[in-house]
Amino acid sequence: MATVREILDRKGSIVITVAPDASVLEAARLMNERGTGSVLVLEGGVLRGIVTERDVLRKVVAEQRDPARTPVGTVMTSSLVTCTPETTLERCAAIITERRIRHLPVVGGSGLCGMVTIGDVMAFDLVEKDHTIHQLNSYVYNVR
| Alpha carbon distance 109, 70 (integer Å) | 32
What is the structure's pLDDT at 140?
A: 75
Among the ranges given (41-55, 64-78, 86-100, 114-128), the one the predictor scored with the smallest mean pLDDT: 114-128
pLDDT at 35 over 70: yes
What are 98-125's pLDDT values in tens digits?
999 999 999 998 889 999 998 888 888 7
Assigned CATH class of 4-141: alpha beta
Instruction: With CA atoms as reference, report the closest residue to 47 among 119, 114, 118, 116.
Output: 114
pLDDT at 144 over 60: no
Confirm if 34 and 16 have CB atoms less than 8 A apart.
yes
**So where are the chain's domains?**
4-141
What is the structure's pLDDT at 47?
A: 94
| Alpha carbon distance 4, 106 (integer Å) | 8
Neighbours of 142 (CB within 10 A): 7
